Amino acid sequence: MKVLKFGGSSVGSAENIEKVVEIVGKAVEKDTCAVVLSAMQGTTDALIDVAKTAERGDDAFRSKIREIETKHLAATRKLLGENSQDGVFDFVENRINELRSICEGVYLLRELSLRTLDRIVSLGEILSTKIVSAKFNSLGIENVWKDSRQIIRTDSNYGFAAVDFAVTNKQIKNYFSEQIQNPKSKIQNLVILPGFIASDADGITTTLGRGGSDYTGAILAAALDAEVLEIWTDVSGMMTADPRIVRNIRQIPRITYREAMELSHFGAKVIYPPTIQPVLQKNIPIFIKNTFAPEDYGTLIEAEVLGEKEIIRGITSIDKISVLSLEGSGMVGIPGFSKRLFDALSRAAINVILITQSSSEHSICVAVEEKFDALAKTVVDKEFEYEIAVGRIDPLQIENGLSILALVGDNMRNHTGISGKMFAALGGQGVNIRAIAQGSSERNISAIIESKDVRKAVNTLHEEFFSDGKRQINLFIVGVGTVGSKLLAQLEQQKDHISEQMNLNLRVVGLANSKKLVFDEEGIDLSNYKLQISNSEQSLDLQNLADLIIEKNLRNSIFVDVTASGKVVGIYPKLLQKSISVIACNKIAASSEYENYQKLKDLAREYSANFLFETNVGAGLPIINTLNDLTRSGDKINRIDAVLSGTLNFVFNNYDGSRTFSSVVKQAQDEGYTEPDPRLDLSGTDVARKILILAREAGFPLEMSDIENKGFLPESCLQGSVEDFYNEMEKYESYFRELLETAKSNKLSLKYIASFDHGKASVGLQSIDAAHNFANLSGKDNAVLFYTNRYADLPLVVKGAGAGADVTAAGVFADIIRAAKI
Ligand code: ADP
Ligand code: ASP
Ligand code: MG
């Protein structure tokens, strides 16, 4: 004997019912089957809506009934043809007329009791099963339709009735032994029954709670000692998370009753939690199968899953939660407070979903469904009326807009560090945790979070615990100039490699130039981003962009600033405060006032975000990271000597007297080695900013004004426009020539050097001899010598190309990966 239950979507249309018929047709060839059906998809909701509309006195209930009628008649027609002999059309019409009469009564009286509502919603299951039964008949598959109300007995708690198992089991056994085991009975192997509905001792219709058809299946399976209970639905079994929330979910082939119960309790609908109880007691396995892909294995739920290594089985959440907090000094050490709290809630039939109490006993916090918030407040404040009046405890506090997030797995109890990992991952995404509960069974760790964070939180945990699940990184990039466009090209080119090697799926979701913005949550197609930006109708407003990034609340969001704009820097704090990492190629933030730099670093630390700016010094060279590694491991930076301007190095390497100084500078600009404004390089300001950043990273709180800048450029070259700057340099050619000749005559060469020595920093042009560490720097190379406690005599040297869009973009890319991996 098998019990098969088909959910609302499985019987949602004539086409779907054909699939059900096929599955059942095959099953009855082998086994005796009890088939339990839900109402056609959406029907229960529609019936409730009709009833409530009538109760409001709104005559729209009539047209709503017509919709239900049309839907059922259309399915009947499609399945059976116009000339069905079964009288099923009449049956449908009669039931719909019954619905009309009841609703007219509700409409007149403007009164809808739960008892009447049960009567109304029961029609959904009655109609669907009758139609399907007739379809079997039309195919020559003999079957008998049995009204579940005649065999499942409950109390009279309408809407959510409790089963009287003693009576129910007896009635089920009696009926089936009459029907199936009786050799005189004509039909022995297929009984079709409506799910969800039952009746009380007076024969009045009751229902088992929303989703209760699963329960009907389980009650039958247990009473009949079925070999299996099959729940047929629209997904191929239980998944590691709700498929509507997480994309890369995995199907769970086997799961224990306990785990399935925890998962479904916490929101995963797939099966209705009470379903497990009757079959668990009898050790009857449950198979979750997909009506639309019957060949898929599905999920087998049983007592033990042997040889299992999975620690976490699934992640789930429930929305619409209220948290009630009872607080007050009068609670400490006095027994009985929690008892009274729970008694008060229980008397009002408010179900408590989660409980936490701090060991100081100063507060107790319980989670309930949001719909009970006002009632809870009333009953609890009433219960503690006296204590509140004398100030021993505070009136009950209520917070709404919350959800419960739960990690489920039997094997969690054998592993340490799971909750640490869970909360670190959530913290890293800026998900605020309001309360935590872990049962001593350690099968479930639950946290209360804000509902707006649920999608991000479930996805984050899914990526964290299901390791072959790749991590989705969402990038917002501002700046599509020379470096920005190279970065986009590299991202596009490397994305498969990064996905395979590092399990990171990089996706650019926001992209802006100085004027316009494009946003696409699914990822912007980088092959034609220029066109997309120019066609975009969204102009760039940085504050709006920051708000958009925060509001979208995508996990692993990273903001990348590839501009040189002071305005963009203004949104860093807002982003870091939301745990969104900031990668800056832009040097303005790290070289602004120390207080500002420090604030950004502190925000990053406080909110577990990254604020990375490796390319601020030496483009893609690992200079800041090397410095950080040294200091983090306890070394102390005593001195830094550095050639940090690829531009100036290029200029002095190429200036040999054959061309004017000005034309060499122009070439550097044309080849993309200068800042957008080349005077920043030539004045030494850019080098000063870099040594400032290095000094700060080494732990010295210097300001720009502390850097001694021994400029070599005549003052007048720095006035006026960029064009004036080139003209003015032409005028000073003899001055530059003299600098060059003096050095040459002493067998020295010119280098623009930045130094930091025990807290003091300077930049300036120096003449160095051939033996100097910097003598052989060619082209646009940079070099940094770190003299530290460990590298006291011979410095640690980082050297290589220190300018150019390609290497800079590569450095930004490396920062992105660094931020994504943490
Ligand atoms: P039925 O109408 O067949 O009873 P339900 O709607 O009650 O179906 O349950 C199936 C739905 O449960 C799926 O369509 C899916 O969207 C949802 N669901 C939520 N969490 C999970 C999960 N962890 N695994 C599978 N499905 C889930
Ligand atoms: N039709 C009922 C509901 O929608 C019962 C079920 O489908 O399980 O809740
Ligand atoms: Mg269901």
Q: Which residues are catalytic?
A: 690
pLDDT value at 85 more than 70: no
Say what the pLDDT of residue 267 is: 67
Verify whether ligand 1 is closer than 6 Å to residue 275 (CB atom).
Answer: no
CA–CA separation, 425 and 395 (whole Å)? 35
Encoded tokens for 657? 């007297």
Beta carbon of 619 within 6 Å of any ligand 1 atom: no
Question: Does residue 781's CB lie within 6 angstroms of at least one atom of ligand 1?
Answer: no
Q: Which ligand is nearest to the CA of 44?
A: 2
Closest among 482, 456, 478, 475 to 571, alpha carbons compared:
478
Place of tokens 């729940």: 231
pLDDT digits (tens, 9 = 90+) for 6-23: 999 999 999 999 999 999
Q: How far is the CA of 40 from the centre of ligand 1 (A)?
A: 16
- What ligand 1 atom has the least distance to the C-alpha of 272? 7
Q: Which atom of ligand 2 is nearest to the CA of 125?
A: 1
Lowest mean pLDDT among 74-78, 332-336, 619-623: 332-336
Residue 245 beta carbon below 6 angstroms from any ligand 1 atom: no
Q: In angstroms, rounded to a whole number, what is the distance separating the alpha carbons of residues 129 and 147?
A: 9
Residue 335 has pLDDT above 80, yes or no: no
Locate the ligand 1 atom nearest the alpha carbon of residue 234 and give its number: 14
Alpha helices in 503-622 (DSSP H): 529-535, 542-552, 566-569, 572-576, 588-591, 594-606
- How high is the pLDDT of residue 776? 87
What the block records as the tokens of 339 is 């008892």
Q: What is the pLDDT of residue 360?
A: 67
- pLDDT tens, residue by residue, 746-779: 999 999 999 999 899 999 999 999 999 898 888 8
Q: Which of 233, 61, 49, 15 is nearest to 124 (CA)?
A: 49
196 close to ligand 2 (CB < 6 Angstrom): yes
First to last CA, the chain: 53
Nearest to 118 by CA among 163, 71, 169, 156: 156
Burial 595-604 (b: 16+ CB within 10 A, else e): ebbebbeebb
Q: Any idea what the Cα angle at residue 324 is, between residues 437 and 397, rounded to 5°?
A: 135
Residues with CB under 5 A from ligand 3 (ion): 7, 211
Q: Distance, CA 109 to ligand 1 centroid (Å)?
A: 38
Check: CB of residue 212 under 8 Å from CB of residue 271: no
Cβ-based neighbours of 18, under 8 Å, separated by 6 or more: 79
Q: Is 749 helix (H, G, I), strand (E, B) or coil?
A: strand
Q: Which residues contact 782 (CB under 8 A, 6 or more apart)?
A: 618, 619, 621, 623, 642, 643, 644, 645, 646, 649, 799, 800, 801, 802, 803
Nearest CA to ligand 2 atom 5: 211
Please give the number of the atom of ligand 1 that sits closest to the Cα of 237: 25
What pLDDT, on a 0 to 100 scale, did the predictor assign at position 445?
93
Segment 445-470, tens digit of pLDDT: 999 999 999 999 999 999 889 866 67
- Whether the CB of 244 sits within 6 Å of ligand 1: yes
Q: Which of 44, 242, 269, 312 to mutate to test the pocket of ligand 1 (most atoms within 8 A of CB)?
A: 269
CA of 38 to the centre of ligand 3 (A): 8
Instruction: Measure 761 CA to ligand 3 centroid, in angstroms.
Output: 70
Residue 821 predicted with pLDDT over 80: no
Length of the chain: 822
Atom 27 (ligand 1) nearest CA: 242
Q: Is the CB of 238 inside a 6 Å radius of any atom of ligand 1?
A: yes
pLDDT tens track for 114-140:
999 999 999 999 999 999 999 999 999
What atom of ligand 2 comes closest to residue 272's alpha carbon? 8
Specify the residue with its C-alpha closest to ligand 2, atom 6: 211
Residue that has been written with the tokens 């609908």 in this structure = 269
Interval 336-340 mean pLDDT: 87
Question: 331-335, 543-547, 687-691: lowest mean pLDDT where?
Answer: 331-335
Query: Looking at residue 580, what is its pLDDT?
Result: 96
Distance of CA 474 to the CA centre of its chain: 12
- Residue-wise pLDDT for 27-68, tens only, equals 999 999 999 999 999 999 999 999 999 999 999 999 999 999
Nearest to 344 by CA among 388, 398, 371, 384: 384
Position 194 scores a pLDDT of 98
pLDDT, position 361? 67
CB-based contact 814:615 (threshold 8 Å): no
* pLDDT of 181: 74
Q: What is the pLDDT of residues 275-314, one digit of tens each?
A: 999 999 999 999 999 999 999 999 999 998 877 678 899 9
Is ligand 2 within 6 A of the CB of residue 217?
Answer: no
- Asked whether the beta carbons of 576 and 558 are under 8 A apart, the reply is no
Average pLDDT, the chain: 93
Q: E strands within 162-313?
A: 190-194, 197-199, 205-207, 228-233, 254-256, 286-290, 299-302
pLDDT score at 711: 87
Alpha carbons 764 and 643: distance in angstroms, whole number: 10
Q: Which of 38, 41, 214 to mutate to test the pocket of ligand 2 (most atoms within 8 A of CB)?
A: 38
pLDDT value of position 72: 97
Is residue 183 over pLDDT 80? no
Query: Quick check: CB of 213 below 6 Å from ligand 2?
Result: yes
State the pLDDT at residue 375. Answer: 97
795-799 long-range Cβ contacts below 8 angstroms, 24+ apart:
795/641, 796/626, 796/630, 797/773, 798/618, 798/621, 798/622, 798/623, 798/626, 799/621
Distance 791 CA to ligand 3 centre (A): 68
Q: Which atom of ligand 1 is nearest to the CA of 314?
A: 23
Say if ligand 1 is within 6 A of residue 37 CB: no
Question: Which sign, positive or negative, has the C-alpha torsion 186, 195, 280, 202?
Answer: negative
Nearest alpha carbon to residue 169 among 207, 214, 221? 221
**pLDDT for residue 548:** 96
Q: What local confidence, expressed as pLDDT, does residue 467 receive?
A: 62
Q: d(Cα 324, Cα 383) in Å, to the nearest integer?
A: 14
Which ligand has the minimum distance to the alpha carbon of residue 232? 1
For the cut 70, the answer to whether the pLDDT of residue 441 exceeds it is: no
- Give CA 446 to chain center in angstroms: 16
Q: Amino acid letter at 583?
A: I
Question: Is residue 273 in contact with ligand 1, taking CB distance under 6 Å?
Answer: no
Q: Structure tokens of 242?
A: 């709700």
Mean pLDDT lowest among 5-19, 175-189, 321-335, 606-620: 175-189
Strand-pair partners of 369: 321
pLDDT of residue 491: 96
pLDDT at 386 over 70: yes
pLDDT tens, position by position, 464-520: 898 666 789 999 999 999 999 999 999 999 999 999 998 899 999 999 999 999 999
For ligand 2, the distance from its centroid to the CA atom of residue 194, given in whole angstroms, is: 10
With a cut of 90, say whether residue 264 has pLDDT above it.
Answer: no
